[in-house]
Amino acid sequence: MAHPSQLGFQDAASPVMEELLHFHDHALMIVFLISTLVLYIIVAMVTTKLTNMYILDSQEIEIIWTILPAIILILIALPSLRILYLMDEINSPHLTIKAIGHQWYWSYEYTDYKEIAFDSYMVPTQDLTPGQFRLLEVDHRMVVPTEAPIRVLVTAEDVLHSWAVPALGVKMDAVPGRLNQTAFIASRPGVFYGQCSEICGANHSFMPIVVEAVPLKYFQDWSTLMLEDA
pLDDT digits (tens, 9 = 90+) for 134-168: 999 999 999 999 999 999 999 999 999 999 999 99
CATH topology of domain 95-229: Immunoglobulin-like (2.60.40)
Q: How far is CA 196 from CA 120, 161, 193, 203, in A?
A: 13, 6, 11, 10
Q: Give the pLDDT band (50/70/90) at residue 56.
A: low
Compute the distance between CA of residue 99 and CA of residue 14 in angstroms, rounded to an integer.
19
Q: What is the pLDDT of residues 68-108, one digit of tens each?
A: 999 999 999 999 999 999 888 888 899 999 999 999 999 99
Contact 151, 178 (CB under 8 A): no
Q: What is the pLDDT of residue 52?
A: 72
Contact 168, 71 (CB under 8 A): no
Q: What is the pLDDT of residue 230?
A: 64
Q: Is residue 221 predicted with pLDDT exceeding 90?
A: yes
pTM of the model: 0.84
Q: Is residue 126 predicted with pLDDT exceeding 70?
A: yes
If you average pLDDT over every residue of the chain, what do you get?
A: 91
Position 186, amino acid: A
Q: What is the pLDDT of residue 1?
A: 66
Q: Give the pLDDT band (50/70/90) at residue 178.
A: very high
Q: What is the pLDDT of residues 23-32, one digit of tens each?
A: 999 999 999 9
Percent of the chain with pLDDT strictly greater than 90: 73
Compute the distance between CA of residue 140 and CA of residue 168 in angstroms, rounded to an integer.
19
Contact 150, 97 (CB under 8 A): yes
More confident residue, 60 or 111: 111
For the chain, the domains span 15-88, 95-229
Position 192, amino acid: F
